[in-house]
Amino acid sequence: MKNNSNGFGLASLMLLFWGIWGSGCSSPNAVPAVNPGAAKATLPNATAKNPIAATTVDPVEERLRTMTLEERAGQMLMIGFSGLALSKDSRRLQRECRVGGVILFKNNISRLGQLQKLNQDVQRTATKASGIPAFIATDQEGGRVARLKKNVGMPAFAANGKLARSGKISAIKAAGQITGQRLRTAGINMNLAPVLDVVTTKNRRGIIGDRSFGSNPQIVGRWGSEYIRALQNENVIATAKHFPGHGATTTDSHLSLPIVKLSPTELRRTHIAPFHTAIQNGVGAIMPAHIVYSSLDKKTPATLSRPILHDLLRRELAFKGLVISDSMSMAAISKNRNWERTVVQATRSGVDVLLLTNSPSHQRRAFRALVNAARRDPQIKARITESCRRILQTKQRFGIWKPKLNSP
């Protein structure tokens, strides 16, 4: 994957285009980009006897060429499951749907040895099913959102807001580094953190609260990027959330659909700015919000909105990494919507990884919906291939998938 950090020209153009970003996007304190994209493998120099030996081989494209539609679609699924070990049904689901990732919650974790064994089992099953190891993700923000506790060797870090109020940047660096180390020891390679929402509700009484670094977009961007750098230096993928910002609402998207009516200028100046900074600093993944931003897309939540995910995130902000949905079972995205159509719409709009925390039957239906839609619609088939490419690039970048190249 190409690194986004080497484009000062892009940042300058964005500043000229918007004229509203402030010093956080080009601050001298900006964090250097980390984890550059994996280089293509170059074969030995060509000779008269071997004229094609100097061909550059892209292992991602080589692997994509051998994958079936079902294997590509399966890589887009990140499933939740119950219990401290994989059940027969969970293994069968992983195999049949070629699942590319799992998410772990508190009920999947009891002690370090158990967690390591579970994750080894997940990886064995995934590799046997598709030849590609899985994303293993969890929510380890610190504060009130932390799935791993002291019983598995994870220190109890303060919430982001408290860390930011301490004024000690070393504290957030340590939190990112140690969190990354302990997650990797447990077999987890993706953290659905940090929260980059800028809280603008009165008295910080919104849903996000102290999960946010604060109400100043430059501080949120800088502190969030410090955490991202420290976490990703330990080869754990960081996920900035909830794009384009959850900090202006008091409505819980687990229960209903929030609507934010801020102007595009205010959204960019305040709420989108930290994500822009994170993109410049190489964040591996971004999670959109199950929220309607009426000035960007009148009726459609960000998770299902092509103007937000494609036009804004991909084109304007030039994000090259993964877009991973929040749970597709949350009421804001699932209530009064057809499940299969919603899954396909999220894919069409630009989601690369679908977070499916509900029942195995819904997870299977999501897989079938993607495959069936791709057989009918070339655009969906192309989107699945595009997402699978990004998934493989990310797995290669963070050492999850280590492809073996065949010499000519």
Catalytic positions, written as ranges: 254, 326
**Residues 361/340, Cβ–Cβ less than 8 Å:** no
| Interatomic CA distance for residues 68 and 65, integer angstroms | 8
Tell me: cis bond preceding 59? Omega within 30 of 0 counts.
Answer: no
Q: Which residue has the tokens 């749907």?
A: 97
Q: What is the DSSP string of 97-135?
A: HT--EEEE-GGG-SSHHHHHHHHHHHHHHHHHHHSSPPE
| Interatomic CA distance for residues 26 and 274, integer angstroms | 12
- The answer for residues whose C-beta is within 8 angstroms of residue 369's C-beta and 6 or more apart is 339, 340, 341, 343, 344
| Interatomic CA distance for residues 163 and 210, integer angstroms | 9
Report the run of H or E that residue 242 belongs to, with start and end.
strand 237-243
